[in-house]
């Protein structure tokens, strides 16, 4: 073996290691996302992170394709990309089986993505994202459902309706206004890009007037589509929805409603995630158009927000019992007991008799395992065990069946 | 938007799309792996698929580093690799926090890996793998535990002890023999490589004699280490373990016990997965040595074997009830009912009144959703609902609370 000392132990720049305590939080976040999506009947799908690069050339905003992807050539001379977002993959998958499907489809995935960006708070080179989409429903009810689902995830994380707001717009409003003013398509695209980045641009108003003329204002009124969505959400108790005519959502494939969920915390007022309606995405595959509405919700910003609001719960160990093995002679008996208890659905660690009893118990306590049983010759001959609850300190002497009842009841 | 017709809808060569029905099977496989690992008190960890390439140069077998990885240069001129296996990442993570940890650690992950190979049955360019490892236990009990865990996963998948065998060896046996014969280290490495590939090499015996001399035979006897492991496993009811002195396991970081699980099906007799003890892996990070034993179990071969033995179960829909909406006027009431039921832990799809009642019920049936409730003006005014069990055809009229009881009890 080639031995090199002191290789870097940090992960690659902008990606994360998930040690067990971080993984538990990550799994908690994914569980809330998954459970809520499934509560609306959404089915889980997935795909490889590696895609042919042509998929992105055709579809995404240009910024993403040119500067921000991880793109390389494989050993067979194919140009491949680590996916920066789910939508092109999803469109590819739906296009492939379009003729077999009975629409509507309600689908979700929880997957990872790469973007070559400078890592900063809320933005990493690798992130995970829930994507939830409804395919095949033109009705505004699909828009309402998808926003309601996004809202329910926030509530299920423990946020209150006051902690965030849902900004909503219809991209066709600006398009209509620009057409009325006789502005050509090319300039319109520039204007929409400008509006999308307005918070990052100095002299936004001046820049806008340069492109759109002095007559352009944002005195836009919500159309029937947006009003129906807002009132439908209100009926379901979702009242923190605000019509926001400047909301664009960067990617250029949205065709109608767009929405974004904003953190209202004054110190951290920012966009958390969003989505919208994109009815023409399957066009590039040469298939029939399928009306679609969906959103993507990233793990990095949500985890930051959960931390800010102190909403990450204390996560219990997945292990139920630590068997502290008193001496070498008791190890076989402890293993038998462990295997029996595993067969009844309990998760059991068998300690090592090479370690002192005190050290074994300390290890259990450090790992937040709720129960410890010390197993020695006495316990094994009598087949009675003292189950210690490490949180309360309470000790209960029971038979093997008693162990199972105790853990499941408490 | 740039529109290109007829972009490829197939995934990149050698990777898979997971449509909902495939994802359900994949999740089933992962659940068995996860539940069994947790039953032994193993904690889940994870890391990014993207690693600095130097991590692999130092460690893996040479074949893997040179020809089989996806390696490229990022936009910041760093050489990066899509991980081909978990062990180097795991070693990096443990080395980083070695001083904070209280050993032993019992860790597992379920993660994806890339290898640039010609796709064939049981071998793809992207695969998923369970990795389970114990760090910090020198005792043979850790070897026994890790093999027992691998065995339990097979049993929990529904395989019988007759379907597979566990081949076991100690790499130090061959090392000792070669040293006794006075063979130098370089030739020893060649001999071990030859033995590792013996099933693929014509005239294996001749080739072996060329390198090792006429005196070399495989009349090796199991040492005390192997005998203890085999008898320890026998005590736990694991009796399909066979000492196999030719078993090498390709990667060169194993230092003692190695094992492989073999499918005994005569038409498909092959290695499924394996692992072993590697006590020196952390050396390259300049840390203290940590005795380690573990294994990796891939999804592709296991899924093939589950299919061969007809052991993939019928997987129920995660959706409990499909609300068939009779007319537009009933949609708001159906949505309210759905939201109430979701709040009580049920997963509900609200159908679209644009579709005929018959089509909605057919859709529910096609998606294997167990219950349908038709919601119309009559149901909403009386607040009584007919719950139809699609499998049995049985219809039960209940109140809203009755719906919840019915679904949870049945």
pLDDT tens by residue, A225-257: 999 999 999 999 999 999 999 898 876 688 899
A6, A236, A335: residue with CB nearest B285? A6
Q: CB B391: neighbour CB atoms within 10 A?
A: 11
Give the mean model confidence (pLDDT) for residues B376-383.
96
User: Distances from the Cα of B404 to the Cαs of A203, B315, B400, in angstroms?
Assistant: 57, 22, 7
Average pLDDT of every residue of chain B: 91
Alpha carbon distance B149, B230 (integer Å)? 14
What 8-state DSSP symbol labels residue A344?
T
Question: Does the pLDDT at position A216 exceed 50?
Answer: yes
Q: Which of B2, B104, B284 sits opposite A4 (nearest CB)?
A: B284
* pLDDT recorded at residue B281: 80
Q: How many interface pairs between A and B have CB atoms less than 8 angstroms apart?
A: 264
Closest CA to B302 of B108, B30, B35, B37: B30
Burial of A220 (0-12, 13-18, 19+ CB in 10 A): middle
B5 — pLDDT class (breaks 50, 70, 90): low
Which of A45-54, A109-118, A215-224, B175-184 shows the lowest per-residue confidence on average (mean pLDDT)? Answer: A215-224
Question: Which two tokens mark A353?
Answer: 């008799």
Helices H / strands E in chain A, number of each:
14, 18
* Among chain B residues, CA nearest to A7: B285
Segment B265-269 long-range contacts (CB within 8 Å, at least 24 positions apart) = B265/B163, B265/B305, B265/B308, B265/B309, B268/B304, B268/B305, B268/B308
Contact A352 B95 (CB under 8 A): no
H-assigned helices in B248-330: 299-308
A120 phi/psi in degrees, rounded to 5 = -155, 175
The pLDDT assigned to A261 comes to 97
Contact B44 A27 (CB under 8 A): yes
Q: A115-129, A151-165, A205-219, B335-349 — which is least confidently predicted?
A: A205-219
- Do the interacting molecules here have an ipTM over 0.85? yes
CA proximity to B2, closest of A284, A96, A94: A284
3-class secondary structure, A96:
helix
- The answer to whether residues A384 and A398 touch, using CB atoms and an 8 Å cutoff, is yes
A179 three-class SS:
helix
Higher pLDDT, B65 or B348: B348
Taking the alpha carbons of A334, A335, A340, A343 in that order, is the dihedral positive or negative? positive
Predicted local confidence at residue A248, as pLDDT: 87
Does A352 contact B55 at a Cβ distance shorter than 8 Å? no
pLDDT at B394 over 60: yes
For residue B9, give the nearest of A16, A96, A366 by CB distance.
A96
pLDDT average, residue stretch B15-41: 98
Closest CA in chain B for residue A18: B46
User: How far is A43 from A106, CA to CA, in rounded Å?
Assistant: 6
Mean pLDDT of B323-337: 96
Confirm if B99 and B259 have CB atoms less than 8 A apart. no
Q: Please, which residues have CB within 8 angstroms of residue A128's CB and are 6 or more apart in sequence?
A: A26, A30, A110, A111, A112, A113, A298, A299
- Taking 60 as the threshold, does the pLDDT of residue A61 lie above it? no
- Quick: pLDDT tens for A344-365: 999 999 999 999 999 999 999 9
B12–A347 CB contact, under 8 Å: no
d(Cα B131, Cα B56) in Å, to the nearest integer? 17
Q: Which of B21, B38, B48, B63 to mutate to test the interface with A (most CBs of A within 10 A)?
A: B48
């Amino acid at each position: 073996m080639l031995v090199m000392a002191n290789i870097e132990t940090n992960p690659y720049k902008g990606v994360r290691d998930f040690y067990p305590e971080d993984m538990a939080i990550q799994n908690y976040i994914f569980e809330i996302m998954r459970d809520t999506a499934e509560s609306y009947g959404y089915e889980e799908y997935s795909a490889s992170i590696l895609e042919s690069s042509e998929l992105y050339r055709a579809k995404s905003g240009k910024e993403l394709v040119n500067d921000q992807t991880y793109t390389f050539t494989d050993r067979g001379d194919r140009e491949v990309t680590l996916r920066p977002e789910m939508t092109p993959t999803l469109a590819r998958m739906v296009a492939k089986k379009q003729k077999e499907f009975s629409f509507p489809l309600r689908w979700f995935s929880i997957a990872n993505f790469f973007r070559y960006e400078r890592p900063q708070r809320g933005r990493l080179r690798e992130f995970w994202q829930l994507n939830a989409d409804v395919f095949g429903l033109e009705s505004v009810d699909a828009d309402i459902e998808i926003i309601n689902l996004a809202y329910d995830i926030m509530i299920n994380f423990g946020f209150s309706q006051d902690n965030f707001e849902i900004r909503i717009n219809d991209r066709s409003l600006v398009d209509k206004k620009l057409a009325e003013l006789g502005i050509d398509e090319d300039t319109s695209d520039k204007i929409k890009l400008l509006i999308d980045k307005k918070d990052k641009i100095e002299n936004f108003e001046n820049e806008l007037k340069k492109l759109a003329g002095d007559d352009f204002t944002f005195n836009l009124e919500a159309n029937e589509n947006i009003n129906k969505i807002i009132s439908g959400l209100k009926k379901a108790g979702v009242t923190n929805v605000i019509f926001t005519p400047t909301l664009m959502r960067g990617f250029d494939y949205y065709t109608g409603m767009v929405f974004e969920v904003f953190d209202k915390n004054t110190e951290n007022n920012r966009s958390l995630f969003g989505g919208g309606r994109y009815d023409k995405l399957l066009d590039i595959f040469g298939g029939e158009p399928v009306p679609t509405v969906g959103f993507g919700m990233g793990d990095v910003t949500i985890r930051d927000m959960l931390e800010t609001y102190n909403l990450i719960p204390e996560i219990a160990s997945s292990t139920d019992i630590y068997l502290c093995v008193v001496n070498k002679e008791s190890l076989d008996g402890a293993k038998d007991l462990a295997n029996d208890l595993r067969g009844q659905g309990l998760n059991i660690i068998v300690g090592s008799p090479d370690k002192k009893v005190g050290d074994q118990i300390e290890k259990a306590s450090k790992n937040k395992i709720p129960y410890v049983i010390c197993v020695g010759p006495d316990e094994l001959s009598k087949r009675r065990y003292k189950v210690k609850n490490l949180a309360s300190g309470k000790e209960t002497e029971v038979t093997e069946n008693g162990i199972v009842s105790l853990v499941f009841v408490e």
